[in-house]
Amino acid sequence: MKAKRTKLSDQLRQLLDNGPRTRYRIAKETGVDTATLSRFMHGKGGLSTAALDRIADCLGLSFTTESPPPAPKKPKGK
Protein backbone atom coordinates (compact mmCIF):
# COMPACT_ATOMS: atom_id res chain seq x y z
CA MET A 1 0.00 0.00 0.00
CA LYS A 2 1.23 3.47 -0.89
CA ALA A 3 2.16 5.81 1.97
CA LYS A 4 -0.04 8.88 2.22
CA ARG A 5 1.78 12.02 1.19
CA THR A 6 1.57 15.24 3.11
CA LYS A 7 -0.03 18.06 1.12
CA LEU A 8 2.39 20.68 -0.15
CA SER A 9 0.42 23.41 1.64
CA ASP A 10 0.74 21.51 4.94
CA GLN A 11 4.48 21.10 4.38
CA LEU A 12 4.81 24.84 3.75
CA ARG A 13 2.80 25.64 6.89
CA GLN A 14 5.08 23.39 8.93
CA LEU A 15 8.18 25.04 7.48
CA LEU A 16 6.81 28.52 8.15
CA ASP A 17 6.05 27.54 11.75
CA ASN A 18 9.37 25.80 12.41
CA GLY A 19 11.68 27.48 9.95
CA PRO A 20 14.59 29.83 10.42
CA ARG A 21 12.47 33.01 10.20
CA THR A 22 9.37 34.18 12.01
CA ARG A 23 6.14 34.57 10.06
CA TYR A 24 6.33 38.32 10.74
CA ARG A 25 9.84 38.47 9.22
CA ILE A 26 8.73 36.44 6.19
CA ALA A 27 5.79 38.80 5.67
CA LYS A 28 8.10 41.82 5.83
CA GLU A 29 10.71 40.31 3.50
CA THR A 30 8.21 39.07 0.91
CA GLY A 31 5.60 41.81 0.98
CA VAL A 32 2.90 39.23 1.72
CA ASP A 33 0.36 40.84 4.02
CA THR A 34 0.53 39.42 7.56
CA ALA A 35 -3.26 38.84 7.56
CA THR A 36 -3.01 36.86 4.31
CA LEU A 37 -0.17 34.80 5.71
CA SER A 38 -2.13 34.21 8.93
CA ARG A 39 -5.21 33.04 7.01
CA PHE A 40 -3.04 30.62 5.05
CA MET A 41 -1.41 29.32 8.22
CA HIS A 42 -4.84 28.61 9.73
CA GLY A 43 -6.12 26.91 6.57
CA LYS A 44 -8.62 29.71 5.94
CA GLY A 45 -7.19 30.98 2.66
CA GLY A 46 -4.69 30.34 -0.07
CA LEU A 47 -1.74 32.19 -1.48
CA SER A 48 -1.28 33.47 -5.00
CA THR A 49 1.46 31.96 -7.13
CA ALA A 50 3.31 35.28 -6.90
CA ALA A 51 3.20 35.14 -3.09
CA LEU A 52 4.32 31.50 -3.12
CA ASP A 53 7.23 32.43 -5.40
CA ARG A 54 8.31 35.25 -3.06
CA ILE A 55 8.09 32.98 0.00
CA ALA A 56 10.04 30.23 -1.78
CA ASP A 57 12.75 32.73 -2.76
CA CYS A 58 12.88 34.11 0.78
CA LEU A 59 13.34 30.64 2.28
CA GLY A 60 15.56 29.27 -0.49
CA LEU A 61 13.02 26.64 -1.51
CA SER A 62 12.66 24.82 -4.79
CA PHE A 63 10.32 22.06 -5.87
CA THR A 64 11.51 18.68 -7.04
CA THR A 65 9.66 15.59 -8.16
CA GLU A 66 10.27 12.06 -7.00
CA SER A 67 9.49 10.64 -10.41
CA PRO A 68 9.25 12.06 -13.92
CA PRO A 69 5.92 13.59 -14.89
CA PRO A 70 3.63 11.43 -17.01
CA ALA A 71 4.03 11.64 -20.76
CA PRO A 72 1.49 13.88 -22.49
CA LYS A 73 -1.50 12.09 -23.99
CA LYS A 74 -1.62 11.87 -27.74
CA PRO A 75 -4.73 13.29 -29.39
CA LYS A 76 -7.09 10.73 -30.82
CA GLY A 77 -6.88 10.47 -34.59
CA LYS A 78 -9.72 10.05 -37.06
Q: Which DSSP string do the residues of 12-33 spell out, in sequence order?
A: HHHHHHHSSS-HHHHHHHH---
Q: Is residue 71 part of a domain?
A: no
Is residue 10 over pLDDT 70? yes
pLDDT category of residue 1 using cuts at 50, 70 and 90: low
- Let me know if residue 55 belongs to a domain: yes
Residue 46 is assigned to a structural domain of this protein = yes
Cα–Cα dist 76/78, whole Å: 7
Residue 49 falls inside a structural domain: yes
E strand or H helix that includes residue 48: none
Q: What was the pLDDT predicted at 7?
A: 84
- The predicted structure's pLDDT at residue 73: 81
Say whether pLDDT at 78 is over 70: no
Residue 70 in any domain: the answer is no
In a domain, 47, yes or no: yes
Asked if the structure places residue 77 within a domain, the reply is no
**Residue 25: inside a domain, yes or no?**
yes
Instruction: Please tell me the pTM assigned to this model.
Output: 0.70
* Residue range of the domain that includes 55: 8-59
Domain count, the chain: 1
pLDDT tens for 21-35 read 888 999 999 999 999
